[in-house]
Amino acid sequence: MTQQINLFDARFRSQKKHFSAGTLALALALLALLSVALQSLYARQNRALQATLAQTDRRIAALREQMVRFSTEYSAQGRSTALADELARVEERLRMRRELIASMRSGGNGDVEGFSPYLAALARQTMNGVWLTGIGIGGKSGQLVLKGRVLDSELVPAYIGQLNKEEPFAGRTISELRLAAKPPARYVEFSFSIPLRKDAS
């Protein structure tokens, strides 16, 4: 039987030195390079933040200036004329609406029952060759104004006679009648006014 002798001893093995002077110098060079890169990155970010801060400061200054300008424009001494004009228009519309409501309640512009009897009577009285183009009821004049067109001017008195058969128009006189021929057209335009209150006719 053969016997084997192990002559290997770990103490005699050549060992690598991890922290040699070259490795340490390389590590220091990498560390210096990394710190320079980080410093340039932080410097770039710092410049970007300073630019943003300067832009924000300019925006704040512009907003302050705008606020001062608006405060002088809309103060009691320097009130804007556009705002005053708009307020005057709104107040005028409100006044007109109040007058209209008061007039409708009192019957100042005609019958208190409203305008539906007139419209119903106009709807019932139709005539071939006559058509209405506009109806004005009430207003400051207190008149019913009818505008229309006829194929023949002789139809206007006949149409008025038909309207006099209706209760809302019965016994009321026409305060104004106008006829106007339009030469190229084949029709005649007419308009007439009837007082809404019977005591005015």
Dump pLDDT digits (tens) for 15-35. 666 667 788 888 889 999 999
What does the DSSP assignment read for 129-176?
TEEEEEEEEETTTTEEEEEEEESSTTHHHHHHHHHTTSTTTTTPPPSE
- How many angstroms separate the CA atoms of 178 and 148, rounded? 11
**Distance between alpha carbon 100 and the CA centroid of its chain, in Å?**
27
| pTM for the structure as a whole | 0.44
- Enumerate domains of the chain plus CATH numbers: 116-200 (3.30.1360.100)
CA within 13 Å, CB half, 49: 6
Segment 71-117, tens digit of pLDDT: 777 765 555 677 778 888 888 988 888 887 777 666 555 555 567 88
Q: Is residue 144 very low, low, confident or very high in pLDDT (cuts 50, 70, 90)? A: confident
- How many angstroms separate the CA atoms of 85 and 131, rounded? 42
